[in-house]
Structure 1
Amino acid sequence: MQYRTHITVSLAVGLPMLAAVDQVTFINTAALVCGSVLPDIDHPKSFIGKRSQVVSKVANKTLGHRGATHSLVVAAGVYLLALFIAKAYLATAAMHLPFWLLIGYLLHLIEDSFSKNSIHWFWPFSKFKKSARKRLFYYRTGHVSEYLILGFALCLLLIELNLLWSGHLTSLFDHGWAASLKLLIAKLQLLLLPH
């Protein structure tokens, strides 16, 4: 998936999550966006790889594309590093930053799981990738299937932004299953963020 699709899909999924716990801020949204492109640091021609050439080339040569950086192990490592930096150097306004960086990172992994080549979720413990032929739905990067996903996510994001602007996005989470999602996010934050 190209960076613009990762960002759009991650925002379309993440913005309602941010709104559910009333944490729609520039810092949290930026953390979500950064997390949504960070796993592709292992590809020198990716959006983030072009902006960090040395790290990208080293990661690509040693780990390959969609190797370690596309795993839960590295996602946990990135989260712990962000947590340390936030606790040691950032103001209280950025206390949720590590959580939203992790959410963006995990959304990237989920999105790439549906690509034709999939990912190694449990690297280095398992090299298993689910074959595209055994899945009901998959997309190919840079092909029509990805652009359809991008178009749908963009339409959804525009609707969400309109609801956010009018003040109705947060009210969607007051009833039913959406209230359960709000509670789940709040409990995850309690579990993952220091008090």
Structure 2
Amino acid sequence: MVEVRLGPPQHRAVRAGGAVPDGVVAELDQAGHAGAQLATRVPADRARRVIVLRATTHQIAGVGLAVVTATALDATATSAAVLVAGAWLGSLLPDADRAGSRIYRARRLERRAWPLRIVGRLARLPLRALILLGHRGLTHSLLATAAVTAAAFALASTVVPALAHEVAAGILIGYLAHVAADACTPGGVPLLAPLSKRRRHLLPRPARIPTGSLRELAVAAALTGGTVAVTLLLAG
């Protein structure tokens, strides 16, 4: 079992057999939230399934949007591949503020080759400082989106200058897709942090999508189908 602390009353409802509350991922008891705290226990395996589903939805949204963009712009194979790879990475970066998120997990290739495993750990090391910020805080803001995109462009300009724009565009697409997806959940995102801690939403309250719910699964399926359909339409 894992213990999840939920903040305001609107986030306390735990319905038997229902979706795991968005607080499992959003940690809605961050400083500044009013109301007494409620400790709720959620099975560890269920919490992991929620996190995996959320990460998968982020990747589908980011990569799907990048594929459609590359197709619409009639990008070369190299540019398209870089754009999609950047979007995949960008879709994971906002959750670097949470220990155990998918970005910190070694990929299959890393597990098979120890040199890559060491490189991967070293590359992720600077990101771990973001955990101190708390989940769905500053990393889920417009400021962070701009800063990460600028940093990606600067780094790519040094390493692969010919593809710097594709790298930055991919990171931007993936990062924005992640933040937008989280803004569709009950927890929302502090879009204007650090200027404001107020959580913003892209959907009205009744339409917001709880993390790990059947609605999120349906959205993920719709995004996949929509991406394939639009890509085929543009390619034709």
TM class, shorter-length? 0.7 to 0.9
4+ residue runs over 4 A deviation: 51-57, 131-134
CA spacing shift, 1:134–1:16, aligned 2, 3 Å: closer
Q: Is 2:59 the counterpart of 1:7?
A: yes
Q: Is 2:196 the counterpart of 1:126?
A: yes
Q: Is the 8 A contact 1:36 1:104 kept in 2?
A: yes
Q: Deviations over 1:120-158 (max 9, x none)?
A: 001000011147995342111111121111111122233
Q: 2:73 maps to which residue?
A: 21
CA distance in 2, matches of 1:133, 1:31: 27
Q: Is the 8 A contact 2:180 2:202 kept in 1?
A: no
CA RMSD of aligned residues (A): 2.5
Unaligned 5+ runs, structure 2: 1-52, 107-120
Which of these residues, 36, 55, 58, is aligned with residue 129 of structure 2? 58
SS in 1 for 2:193: coil
Q: Deviations over 1:102-131 (max 9, x none)?
A: 121111111110011010001000011147
Q: Is the 8 A contact 2:66 2:83 kept in 1?
A: no
TM-score normalised according to structure 2 size:
0.62
- Which deviates more, 123-132 or 108-117? 123-132
- Which deviates more, 37-46 or 1-10? 1-10
Q: Is the 8 A contact 1:43 1:56 kept in 2?
A: no
* 1:1-195 alignment runs, 5 A limit: 2-23=54-75, 25-51=80-106, 54-55=125-126, 57-60=128-131, 62-130=132-200, 135-160=205-230, 163=232, 168-170=233-235
How far apart are 1:95 and its partner, in Å? 3.5
Q: Deviations over 1:3-58 (max 9, x none)?
A: 11111122333322222222362111100111111101111122113356755553
CA distance in 2, matches of 1:133, 1:152: 17
Identity of aligned residues (%): 26
CA distance in 2, matches of 1:131, 1:151: 22
Q: Is the 8 A contact 2:96 2:104 kept in 1?
A: yes
| Larger relative helix fraction | 1
Q: Is the 8 A contact 2:188 2:201 kept in 1?
A: yes
Q: Is the 8 A contact 1:37 1:105 kept in 2?
A: yes
CA distance in 1, matches of 2:90, 2:203: 29
| Larger relative strand fraction | 2
TM-score normalised according to structure 1 size:
0.74
Which structure has the greater CA radius of gyration?
Answer: 2
CA distance in 1, matches of 2:165, 2:204: 41
Q: Is the 8 A contact 1:28 1:94 kept in 2?
A: no
How far apart are 1:92 and its partner, in Å? 0.9
- Which deviates more, 5-14 or 62-71? 5-14
Greater RCO, CA 8 A, separation 6+: 1
CA distance in 2, matches of 1:4, 1:28: 18
